[in-house]
Structure 1
């Protein structure tokens, strides 16, 4: 009986009539109602999708990530005093913006194939509002309507947020106490649809932006500007395959128009309860004496605290 229910759920999900992009961009109430009314159906459909394809479907896990990053992360969870090795892997672009190799280049094609399989599943998924319904435009977090609810992906997503992003952002960006909540989405830039993103800041304590382009997927344009408030200078950087940039949400940034090819990214946020973010720009590592520190309490955060999980529950509010 249970298998029959799951089979029906997958078929029913594929048969749903999804609200138009126009209705979605207008925030029409019928759109939210559609996703909420069908939430359980869609979640069950994702379970069945995994069951039906378990013989040839990748189950994403930490083995997809760069070996050096995995090692220092595992070492720091075992002994937080080794966290300096984690910080040393990240190259500073400007204060509050860092870059490192996040995915293993030899496994990136496996992950992209998995995303392709999800796109072709026929199960409705909601793209981020304001972003065209392109091939990889999906909401990733359970707080979002129409999110990518495949159990194996959710386990992988939680590992990235809990084991990687949160302690790293605490270490580099001083976000401890403002990082209980998670949010994420995927996006693809291409010349025909989503070309650019104007200057903005994020409603996050920390943003992790991971490029999932394969090494042979070239693109031109789509350079990212980061504005250094202290110096008044703008620094440009270009995403490389499998690399991630982590930055404070309050760092202004913009994406130049993409001219050819396409750029695929996963974008994930951390922020505090009730959407709280730190008052100032602080770092737990390196420049503790910096005059950018506004919240003195963060100076007293221990390594053990940085490498710990939040006690409180996740809320259900989505930024967009």
Structure 2
């Protein structure tokens, strides 16, 4: 087996498990580490068929992650439910959420064509596609609802960036001290953002990018559409600047999405997710830099998040 990915070869149980779930006559002939994952290791497996052709599968492995069993159970359930929908998600091949057969909890799925695009070029083309895809996800009505959303951020866990607008952050923190607004439940991806969206995007023509896939369904939940929109908005603000975060809310409504009825209710969800980002900046900076965005240092992300939170609170005033 040709394998530039030495870590994969040190997990013979996992590779043997994956082999048992291939079609008759197929075998794994190569593995390649996929960059960009934050919580899980991702590998592309090259599969050779008996007739000489090849195809690709993706192996998702959680190493030392406490929530692995829950996340893989939710992801496998979501992928199963998405099979007969128009959402371009991977298809489930096999899952071992308790590591009964693998070294670590793992999931095997089909490979979706495309790549993540984190560059600024072509964002005007990608943004409305992101919005339309999220509206389509929220329109799903699964036979079995995923579990209710969980928001772990509290006023006490918010990390205020150095030099941030203290008045804006204090006001934003006060917003999430209130109980969450009532909402009409929707099927949520819960981590819908550019890092989990694939595009057919030729480097020479970023404006012609076409959305081809939505991946990482490990935190699928049931909750307010505003929460998914707020999350994508916050990530867009970090990647591309606060104005793009604010623009995504407009794009979602232009695509037919329905958000909370009042400005104060919308602000609650926007602020809650933006403040949640404050706890994660160091962990997202590294994979983004590895993906080519070397400008996105932890300090640069702090400055963008501060500008975004300040803009949200200024708009509320």
State the TM-score, normalized to the length of structure 1.
Answer: 0.28
Q: Which has the higher contact order (CA 8 A, sep 6+)?
A: 1
State the TM-score, normalized to the length of structure 2.
Answer: 0.28
Which structure's residues are more often helix, by fraction?
2
